[in-house]
Amino acid sequence: MAARRASMWPVVMLLRSGAARRGPNAQARRRIGSKVFTEMHERGLVGDVFPQASIEFRHLLESRAQTLYCGFDPTADSLHLGHLVPVMALLNWQRSGHHVIALVGDATARIGDPSGRTTCRDAVPCDVTKERASALRAGLERLFRNHVLFLWDGGLEKLGSMTMLNNSEWYDDLAVVDFLSGAGRRFRMGTLLGRHSVQRRLHSADGLSLSEFTYQAFQAYDFLQLYERYGCVIQLGGSDQLGNIMNGHDLISRMHDDHVYGITMPLITNVTGDKLGKTAGNAVWLNRDRTSPFDLYQYLLRLPDNDVERYLRLLTFLPLAEINSIMNGHRKQPEIRNAQRRLAREVTLLVHGKEGLESAKRCTSTLYEGNLEALNAMSDQELREVFQGAPFYEFLLEPGTSILDACHRINAVPEGRRGFELIVAGAVSINHERQNNPSQLLIRGRHVLQNGVLQC
C-alpha cells in the first residue's frame, strides 16, 4: 500500500503544478491545432502581437491550451458593439480549446483609463461602479451563454474554460503602501511617461491626474496577478490598449523568468472614423433596455457595403469560405443586402439569443413590410421599442366605439365636421388599412388586434 501511494504522489504533484501555471483546469494539457493563429489573423482578430509573433509565441499557442484574458471597465452598465470585438476574440480562442478570462475592472474603473481620452473622467461613486460591474458581468455572461446555446455545436468538452473575475478581488485588501513598495518599484518612470496615452494628455488643456497616470500600473498589476494565479500568459485588448499591455509584459518579465504576450485588435469605427464606444458618444449598446434587438438588427442591416465583409469576419463565427461566398453573391446584388442581413442575424443571435432575433425580425417585418401578422404578435415591450418616440395611448375599448370616436380620443383628427371629412377623404389608416367610414364601429380582430393594438 505504502509503495503504491509513494508512486502516485509525483503524478498528483505534476497535475497541480501544470494547472496552476498554464490554465485553470486539467484541460490545460490538451494539444491545440496549428491553424488557430492563422485563422484568427485572417478574421482580423489579431492586429499587433507584443513583443512579437515569434516562433516561440506560435509554438506556445499551437502546442497546448493557454490562458488569455481581456479586461472591461464598468464605466457604463452595458457593453457596446465595440466590445464585441474583444469578446469575439475571447470566444474564438475558447472555441480553439484555449482558456479565457473576462476581467471586469471594478477597481480600475474607479481610477479611469486615460487611453484615447482628451479629458479627465468624472469621479463616480463606489456603489454606482459596483452596480455597473454586476450589470457588465451579466452582459458578458449572457454573450458566453448565448454562444454555447445557439452558435456552438462542437460539444462542451471541446471548448476551453471561461472564467469571469473582478479585479477588486486583489485590490480590496491591498494597501497602497504595499502596492507602491512592491510592484511600484518595478516600473520605470521614463517608460510610463513615454506612453502615447500619457503624452497626449500631458499636453492637453485638462492635463493628467495622478490617478489616471497610475492607471497603467494597475492594469499591469492585473496581468501579473492573472499570470501568478491562473497561469495567464496573453492579454488581449483593442489597439488603444497596447501601452497598458506592454507595461504588464514588462512587469511580469522583471519578476518572472517567463515569456508573456499581448495581442491587440483593430478598433471598429463609425462612418466618420470615430471608435465605436462610450467616449465618442456613438455607442450601439448590447443591453436591451438601451438598444433594442430591433435597433441593433437595423443598425447592422444599414451597415455600408465597404464594412460588411470585415464585420462578418470579426463579429460572426461563419467559416471564412462561407463569408467569401456570401460576399460574391452580395457583389452581384448589393441592393438586397444579403450580407448585411446575415451579419444582423448572427450578431443579434449572439447578443439577444433566439427570442431577441425573432423579436428583431418581427419588428422589422411590421415596420418595413406592413406585416399585420407580425404586428399582431408583438409584445408591449416590442411595441414600445419599435414605435419609440411615437405617441402611445391606452384606453378601454367600450362597445360601440367608432373610428371617429377613437380618432378623437387620440387627437388624430380635429373635432367636428373637419375630422369627419378627413377620414372620408382617406387620411386615416388603421393597422395598415385605409379607413373611409368614420361611423364604422371598431371590431376586435380587424381594427383591434389580438394583442390589443390599434396602430393608427
Ligand X SMILES: Nc1ncnc2c1ncn2[C@@H]1O[C@H](COP(=O)(O)OP(=O)(O)OP(=O)(O)O)[C@@H](O)[C@H]1O
Residues near ligand TYR (CB under 6 A): 71-73, 103, 105, 108, 113, 167, 219, 222, 241, 244
**8 Å CB contact between 343 and 303:** yes
* CA 217/CA 201 separation, integer angstroms: 17
Local structure of residue 157 (DSSP, 8 states): G
* CA 141/CA 21 separation, integer angstroms: 25
Could you give the residue ranges of the DSSP H alpha helices within 23-54?
Answer: 36-43
Q: How far is the CB of 253 from ligand X (least distance, A)?
A: 21
Q: How far is the CB of 295 from ligand TYR (least distance, A)?
A: 24
In the complex with ligand TYR, which residue's Cβ is closer, 66 or 247? 247
x/- letters, 290..329, toward ligand X (CB under 6 A): ----------------------------------------
Q: Choose among ligand X, ligand TYR, none what residue 108 binds, the Cβ cut-off being 5 to 8 Å by kind.
A: ligand TYR
In the complex with ligand X, which residue's Cβ is closer, 242 or 423? 242
Q: How far is the CB of 70 from ligand X (least distance, A)?
A: 6
Task: Tell me which residue has cell 446575415.
Answer: 342
Window 160 to 199, contacts with ligand X (CB under 6 A): none
Task: Tell me which residue has cell 377623404.
Answer: 425
* CA 31/CA 340 separation, integer angstroms: 36
In the complex with ligand TYR, which residue's Cβ is closer, 50 or 294? 50
Q: Which member of 27, 241, 287, 340 binds ligand X (CB under 6 A)? A: 241
**8 Å CB contact between 224 and 255:** yes
In the complex with ligand TYR, which residue's Cβ is closer, 244 or 366? 244
* CA 407/CA 417 separation, integer angstroms: 13
In the complex with ligand TYR, which residue's Cβ is closer, 56 or 206? 206
* CA 285/CA 78 separation, integer angstroms: 6
Q: Choose among ligand X, ligand TYR, none what residue 140 binds, the Cβ cut-off being 5 to 8 Å by kind.
A: none
Start-to-end C-alpha separation, the chain: 84
Q: Which residue stretch of 93-101, 197-205, 209-217, 233-241 sits at the interface with ligand X (rule: CB under 6 A)?
A: 233-241
Cis omega (within 30 of 0) on the bond before 51?
A: yes
In the complex with ligand X, which residue's Cβ is closer, 211 or 365? 211
Q: How far is the CB of 223 from ligand TYR (least distance, A)?
A: 6
Residue 237 makes contact with ligand X by CB under 6 A: yes
Q: Choose among ligand X, ligand TYR, none what residue 77 binds, the Cβ cut-off being 5 to 8 Å by kind.
A: none
User: Number of residues in contact with ligand X, rule: CB under 6 A?
Assistant: 22
* Residue 280 three-state SS: coil
Q: How distant, in Å, are the alpha carbons of 5, 24, 117 from that of 10? A: 10, 20, 52
x/- letters, 114..143, toward ligand X (CB under 6 A): --x---------------------------
Q: In what order do the strands lie in the sheet with 49-50?
A: 49-50, 261-265, 232-238, 67-72, 99-104, 162-166
Q: Choose among ligand TYR, ligand X, none what residue 456 binds, the Cβ cut-off being 5 to 8 Å by kind.
A: none
Count Cα atoms within 13 angstroms, Cβ side, for 312.
25
Task: Tell me which residue has cell 371598431.
Answer: 442
Window 72 to 111, contacts with ligand X (CB under 6 A): 72-73, 75, 82-83, 85-86
In the complex with ligand TYR, which residue's Cβ is closer, 96 or 219? 219
**CA 131 to chain CA centroid, nearest Å:** 18
Phi and psi at 305, nearest 5°, equal -55, -35
Q: Choose among ligand X, ligand TYR, none what residue 222 binds, the Cβ cut-off being 5 to 8 Å by kind.
A: ligand TYR
Q: Choose among ligand TYR, ligand X, none what residue 359 binds, the Cβ cut-off being 5 to 8 Å by kind.
A: none
